[in-house]
């Protein structure tokens, strides 16, 4: 039986989760809070940041379109980069992908992988009610801006 989780977005930065080393970038981003738990905190050991809420307006709109299933990713189809390089957001630096499905009014995040190695990460699946999910994903636009 699926358990529907609440989803929230919160403006955060890398420094909110611990000291930033000399020469590291204190990237700001929209952290996704799943049932009261930070996605960034859940995946912090991978030294990446959430892909939503920062970079250019075009990049942010593209990420929102992916997460709202308006268009498939160009190379992964219904897998999407949920955590990316904190310096540049580029998938070429490595990223964490998630499979996103929608069944009626429920969005499912499952099968998290460290890319490009396709190494399974044991979190999820997470289930979200569509109206809450859509509102939260849309709310991430412009949270941290271009950095």
Share of the chain above pLDDT 70, in %: 99
Give alpha helix (H) positions in the chain.
Answer: 39-42, 57-67, 130-139
The token pair that represents 42 in the structure block:
């859940």
Q: Residue 50 falls within a domain, yes or no?
A: yes
Q: How many domains does the chain have?
A: 1
Q: Residue 57 falls within a domain, yes or no?
A: yes
39: domain range?
7-139
Count the Cβ atoms, other than its own, within 10 Å of residue 121.
17
Q: Residue 111 falls within a domain, yes or no?
A: yes
pLDDT band (50, 70, 90) for residue 33: very high
pLDDT at 21: 84
Tens digit of each residue's pLDDT (9 = 90 or more) over 88-135 = 999 999 999 999 999 999 999 999 999 999 999 999 999 999 999 999
Strands 79-84 and 49-50: antiparallel
Q: Residue 2 falls within a domain, yes or no?
A: no
pLDDT, mean of residues 30-58:
97
pLDDT at 147 over 70: no
Q: Residue 86 falls within a domain, yes or no?
A: yes
Q: Residue 42 falls within a domain, yes or no?
A: yes
Tens digit of each residue's pLDDT (9 = 90 or more) over 57-79 = 999 999 999 999 999 998 887 89
Write down the mean pLDDT value for the chain: 94
3-state secondary structure of 119: strand
The token pair that represents 98 in the structure block:
């998630």
> Which long-range contacts link 38-42 to residues 24+ away (Cβ below 8 Å)?
38/10, 38/12, 39/82, 39/83, 40/12, 40/83, 41/17, 42/123
Q: Residue 1 falls within a domain, yes or no?
A: no
In terms of Cβ atoms closer than 10 Å to its own Cβ (0-12, 13-18, 19+), residue 67 is buried
pLDDT at 41: 97
Q: Residue 95 falls within a domain, yes or no?
A: yes
């Amino acid at each position: 039986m699926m358990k529907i989780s609440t989803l929230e977005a919160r403006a955060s930065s890398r420094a909110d989760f611990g000291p930033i080393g000399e020469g590291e970038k204190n990237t700001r981003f929209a952290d996704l809070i799943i049932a009261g738990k930070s996605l960034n905190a859940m995946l912090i050991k991978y030294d990446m940041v959430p892909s939503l809420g920062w970079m250019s307006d075009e990049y942010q709109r593209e990420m929102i379109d992916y997460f709202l299933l308006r268009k498939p990713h160009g190379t992964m189809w219904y897998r999407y980069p949920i955590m990316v390089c904190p310096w540049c957001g580029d998938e070429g630096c490595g990223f964490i992908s998630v499979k996103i499905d929608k069944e009626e009014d429920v969005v499912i995040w499952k099968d998290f992988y460290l890319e490009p190695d396709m190494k399974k990460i044991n979190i999820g699946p997470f289930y979200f009610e569509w109206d809450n999910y859509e509102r939260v994903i849309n709310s991430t636009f412009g949270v941290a801006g271009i950095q």
